[in-house]
Structure 1
Amino acid sequence: MGREPADDERISERAELLPEEVEAGSEDARAQAEAILDDSDERVDDPEGTRRESSQTPGPD
């Protein structure tokens, strides 16, 4: 399945490295951006799963 133009725009914007990423170095900023956004989208699409799997995400009170 191909990416939508909006996805390409998001990836291109995220591929602009943050200062700490520049300092750490990146061999492939675009691939890094795709991985970061894929992970983020997965967490947004399944917030309950994120709560179960993450010790950093608070559960409901």
Structure 2
Amino acid sequence: MTETPGPDRDDVQDDERVAERAHLLPEEIAAGSDDPTAQAEQILAESDDRTDDPERTQQESVQANESDAGNRR
């Protein structure tokens, strides 16, 4: 008996993550969202990118680094 290929486990987990993240936070509800699912996919993709390569994304970030905070004039 052969198994019928089903959805990849990672795809299912990604779908679950997106569905969970698509539930808007109160501030997101107040601001409005045309497509919460697309918004969730983008947020999670950026989060995964920061997790997978923190050094590169920290260099690209426009946010101030804590160690730089005391060096600003």
TM-score (norm 2): 0.71
Cα distance per residue 1:10-31 (max 9 Å; x no partner): 0000000000000000000000
**Displacement after TM superposition at 1:52 (Å):** 1.1
> Contact 1:51–1:57 (CA<8 Å) still a contact in 2?
no
RMSD, aligned α-carbons: 2.0
Mapped pair 1:50 → 2:57: yes
**Displacement after TM superposition at 1:50 (Å):** 1.4
Mapped pair 1:23 → 2:23: no
> Contact 1:12–1:30 (CA<8 Å) still a contact in 2?
yes
> What 5-or-longer segments of structure 2 have no aligned partner?
1-7, 68-73
Partner amino acid for 2:35? Answer: D
Runs of 4+ in structure 1 deviating by more than 4 angstroms, as ranges, are none
**Displacement after TM superposition at 1:57 (Å):** 6.0
TM-score (norm 1): 0.83
> Contact 1:11–1:34 (CA<8 Å) still a contact in 2?
yes
Bigger CA radius of gyration: 2
User: Identity of aligned pairs, percent?
Assistant: 56
Mapped pair 1:13 → 2:53: no
**Displacement after TM superposition at 1:55 (Å):** 3.9
